[in-house]
Amino acid sequence: MQDVTTLGFIQLLGKYGAPDLLFTEYFRVHGNSTLEKHIVDSILYHETDKPIFAQLIGESIPDLERTVGTIFERELPVTGIDLNMGCPAPKVYKKNVGGGLLRDPAKIEDIFKCLKGAVQTFFTVKMRIGFESDQHFHEILDLINTYQVELLSLHARTVKGGYKSEVQYEYIKEAAKIANCPVLANGNITSYISSEKVIEGTQCRGVMIGRSCIRNPWIFRQIQEHLTGKSIFAPTFKDVRGYIEDLYQLSNKSNQEERFRINYLKKFLNFIGISIDNEGQFLYQARRCKTKGDLDIICDQYLIKDGNAEKIYPIEPISGLVARPNCEIKNTCSL
Ligand SMILES: Cc1cc2nc3c(=O)[nH]c(=O)nc-3n(C[C@H](O)[C@H](O)[C@H](O)COP(=O)(O)O)c2cc1C
């Protein structure tokens, strides 16, 4: 996730329980593009021991080929290359990249042909079910088979559906039936419980989790514990308080001014806050803090004081609370 799965955040996931596979933020690919250093660093230094896929967003065949070439020339330790065909930001899809590609199966075919030839390891795809509708869904699945895509992560919404429309898991079931490669289900998988439900209901191979690992960085560990019949770790509010402090420390590395660090932290608190109190008072108050001192007071009040420290952090978000202003942490999709 752009601006979320930075090197520091991936390292935090390593501490709390990393997923089996990792995907980088996307490298922008165009005429003047070079590999963004911070993404390269996330590949080189995440130290989770988990396979990591480099995600690319772009549509220019020569530039995609050049970028893949550079990744392999530099011997970046990626397990594969993942093509982004899902980003719904208008700034992105208007350039016919990300989710915009889903309108043009002929272009997708050209890109698949190029990437299949250029990628020396696994070539994988992340996509939605379509742009405005499922018009090209089956055609694109056929291309996935023809070009032997090796893993498909399917966010079961249209591009126009953004992050809030109903997730249509029946398309994941269909993809799992038709695609020759493993399919990962994506979209609103919020806990080990919904993960199990979706895997059983769709017969997909696994799940991809986005926003819920911001809210609950223990989610991957909980899924693994559930799948292997172990007792499931139940973080307390005190653990969440520690996680918030870890997030704050991530912004330390760039010697940012306090107000930038607070804004950075608030973006994460937007997600964490939807599992803290039913009335959304933590969220309301945290959003209004101007200093770290103010935020510490609110965090201690809700997460530590008056016996709160030992409370169990809910495994699901509290219904009715939303991570405002919207799901995108920052619109940096400036390809
Ligand atoms: C802040 C943010 C940044 C994202 N950046 C990317 C990205 O770079 N590449 C990508 O494939 N998906 C990206 N996504 C989409 C997620 O990978 C995922 O498909 C979507 O959030 C739905 O899954 P979820 O309900 O588990 O969050 C992003 C989502 C968010 C909220």
* Domain range enclosing 299: 237-310
Is 37 part of any domain? yes
Is 317 part of any domain? no
Kind and range of the H or E run holding 183: strand 183-186
User: Does the beta carbon of 126 lie inside 6 Å of ligand 1?
Assistant: yes
Q: What is the pLDDT of residue 323?
A: 79
The contacts of residue 274 (CB under 8 Å, 6+ apart) are 215, 280, 283, 317, 318, 321, 322, 323
Are the CB atoms for 86 and 126 separated by under 8 Å? yes
Do both 271 and 122 map to the same domain? no
Is 156 part of any domain? yes
Do both 121 and 241 map to the same domain? no
User: Does the beta carbon of 211 lie inside 6 Å of ligand 1?
Assistant: yes
Among 3, 10, 96, 80, CA closest to 45 = 10
Structurally, the chain folds into a number of domains equal to 2
Q: What is the pLDDT of residue 330?
A: 42
Do both 279 and 169 map to the same domain? no
Closest residue by Cα to atom 26, ligand 1, is 210
Closest residue by Cα to atom 11, ligand 1, is 84
User: Does the beta carbon of 209 lie inside 6 Å of ligand 1?
Assistant: yes
User: Does the beta carbon of 54 lie inside 6 Å of ligand 1?
Assistant: no
User: Does the beta carbon of 1 lie inside 6 Å of ligand 1?
Assistant: yes
Is 320 part of any domain? no
Q: What is the pLDDT of residue 334?
A: 28
- Look up 204 and say whether it is catalytic: no
Closest residue by Cα to atom 14, ligand 1, is 1
Do both 169 and 254 map to the same domain? no
Do both 158 and 288 map to the same domain? no
Q: Which two tokens stand for residue 174?
A: 């269909």
Give me the residues paired with residue 126 across strands: 84, 153
End-to-end CA distance of the chain: 15
Cα torsion 271, 273, 279, 284: sign? negative
Q: Which residue has the tokens 């079961």?
A: 156
Closest residue by Cα to atom 29, ligand 1, is 1
| Amino acid, res. 306 | D
Is 159 part of any domain? yes
Burial (CB count <10 Å: 0-12, 13-18, 19+), residue 148 = exposed
| Nearest-atom index, ligand 1, CA of 155 | 19
**pLDDT tens-place string over residues 204-253:** 999 999 999 999 999 999 999 999 999 999 999 999 999 999 999 998 86
Among 160, 189, 218, the domain-final residue is 218
Do both 199 and 249 map to the same domain? no
Closest residue by Cα to atom 16, ligand 1, is 210
Do both 214 and 302 map to the same domain? no
Which 3-state string (H, E, C) describes 99-156? HHHHHCHHHHHHHHHHHHHHCCCEEEEEEEEECCCCCCHHHHHHHHHHCCCCEEEEEE
CA gap 145, 139 in Å, rounded:
10
**pLDDT tens-place string over residues 82-125:** 999 999 999 999 999 999 999 999 999 999 999 999 999 999 99
User: Does the beta carbon of 4 lie inside 6 Å of ligand 1?
Assistant: yes
Cα 87 to averaged position of ligand 1 atoms, centre (Å): 8
Cα 211 to averaged position of ligand 1 atoms, centre (Å): 7
The 8-class DSSP code of residue 325 comes to S
Cα 174 to averaged position of ligand 1 atoms, centre (Å): 22
Do both 80 and 210 map to the same domain? yes
- Would you tell me how many other CB atoms lie within 10 Å of the CB of residue 196? 15
**pLDDT tens-place string over residues 170-208:** 999 999 999 999 999 999 999 999 999 999 999 999 999
Give the CA dihedral 329, 331, 334, 335, nearest 10 degrees. Answer: 60
Helices (H), the chain: 7-16, 37-45, 61-73, 90-93, 105-118, 137-146, 170-178, 192-202, 212-215, 219-227, 237-250, 258-272, 281-287, 292-303
Q: Find the CATH number of the domain harbouring 73.
A: 3.20.20.70
User: Does the beta carbon of 2 lie inside 6 Å of ligand 1?
Assistant: yes
Among 9, 39, 19, CA closest to 332 = 39
Do both 153 and 23 map to the same domain? yes
Q: What is the pLDDT of residue 254?
A: 63
CA gap 149, 123 in Å, rounded:
6
Is 271 part of any domain? yes
Query: Ligand 1 pocket: which of 2, 154, 157 to mutate (most atoms <8 Å of CB)?
Result: 2
Do both 146 and 272 map to the same domain? no
Are the CB atoms for 296 and 285 separated by under 8 Å? no
* pTM, 2 dp: 0.95
Comparing 10-14, 179-183, 204-208, 329-333, the range with the smallest average pLDDT is: 329-333
Is 126 part of any domain? yes
Do both 259 and 191 map to the same domain? no
Are the CB atoms for 58 and 28 separated by under 8 Å? yes
State the Cα angle at 5 between 329 and 241, rounded to 5°.
Answer: 80
User: Does the beta carbon of 28 lie inside 6 Å of ligand 1?
Assistant: no
Do both 187 and 283 map to the same domain? no
| Nearest-atom index, ligand 1, CA of 25 | 8
Is 2 part of any domain? no
CA gap 118, 113 in Å, rounded:
9
| Per-chain mean pLDDT for the chain | 94
